[in-house]
A and B are shown apart, each in its own frame.
Chain A
Amino acid sequence: MATRQPAPASTEGLTVIGPHLHVNGRIEGEEDLRIEGRVEGSVSLTETLYVAEGGVVAAKVAARDVVVSGVVVGNVSATNSVTLNAGAKLVGDIATPRLIISDGAAFRGNVAMDGEAPAPAVRTQAARVRPRASVLSRPAAKPVVAPPARPARKAPPAPAPAPARVAVIQASDPDQDEKTIVVRHAALEEKAKTADNKKAGKKKAKKSPPRARVPKPGKRRVGRR
């Protein structure tokens, strides 16, 4: 008993799954959990989950904070933060408002940090949708667009596409990344279109010469003669 009592006292308030233990199933709780062993199934906590070095978690994880120094395979969702320390290995999707990945950590999967700023996320979606819509609507003004498209990138004086592009830039102003992407997309579309127009023009040009050459079949006539 004398040796037994200090151990629970020192780890009071901290649940530990030891290094030689294997839990297969569901773990739920309202306190910190430190995993040094192996856990499969699901882990759901209202506090912090520590996956210690040597700990292996093959489970769906939901907690307030998740601190990984070991291995996690499965989707991780945290209401506050996810921390991947050096030596950590995580394969799965992460959903958290705050994500810290240290040098030496390995991670493969998707990250969703929607919780932090939901408003910008909505705006970026709007910004992504709008340029496509404007691109689609552009063919109506096709003949006018083709020549002034490139100057329009520097200063947008072009009549039809200019308002759409300005609106896009304003909408995506909060996050610079989206802006550049959107502008590039628009530019690419315009290049593609001008190229198409040129091709179309060339085709027409190619078509017309044969008509002009129509007299050449005269050779055949000559041959017939």
Chain B
Amino acid sequence: MANTVIGSTIVIDGEITGDEDLVVQGTIKGRVSLRENIVVEESGVLEANIETSTITIHGTVTGDIQASERAELKSNCHVVGDIRAPRILIADGASFKGNVDMEG
């Protein structure tokens, strides 16, 4: 399946909706609403409210995250915002500030 990749020099200001995997190496501001997986790479910056199935964060996320399946915070990531997901994984070295709601 063709992944969507937002490259490291790309800045998107607005709304992203859709039905496929998203790899973020650049910057997205606004709102992201997907039914698939989001991967925020180390260079990636998300300043957005996020709705998705699963999210894996290596980079920086500012905003509320709502994942229907899983949210994974890898080491060296920076996350500020509330996370709502049935399964939340926070790795050693991750930085996180916000509320966690694992009741789904």
Contacts and interface: CB of A to CB of B under 8 A. Distances in A.
Interface secondary structure of A, over-half rule: strand
Interface residues of A, number: 28
Interface residues of B, number: 28
A8 B5 contact: yes
B2 A19 contact: yes
Nearest to B8: A31
A14 B8 CA distance: 9
B22 interface: yes
A24 B14 contact: yes
Contacts, number: 90
A24 B17 CA distance: 8
Contacts of A13: 7
Nearest to B21: A18
B19 interface: yes
A99 B20 CA distance: 34
Interface in A1-23: 4, 7-8, 11, 13-23
B5 A16 contact: yes
B4 interface: yes
A37 B4 contact: yes
Given A18-B3, A36-B2, A23 B8 contact: no
Looking at B1, B14, B19, B25, the one whose CB has the most chain A CB atoms below 10 A away is B14
A173 to B, nearest CB: 46
A175 interface: no
B5 A14 contact: yes
B100 interface: no
Contacts of B39: 4
Interface string A208-225: 000000000000000000
Nearest to A15: B7
Contacts of A20: 18-20
Nearest to A40: B14
B8 A26 contact: no
B11 A7 contact: no
B6 interface: yes
Contacts of A7: 3, 5, 23
A164 B28 CA distance: 61
A215 B23 CA distance: 102
B14 A21 contact: no
Contacts of B10: 15, 27-29, 31, 33
A109 interface: no
A30 interface: yes
15 contacts: A8-B23, A11-B3, A15-B26, A16-B4, A18-B18, A20-B18, A20-B19, A21-B18, A22-B16, A22-B17, A23-B16, A27-B12, A27-B13, A29-B7, A41-B14
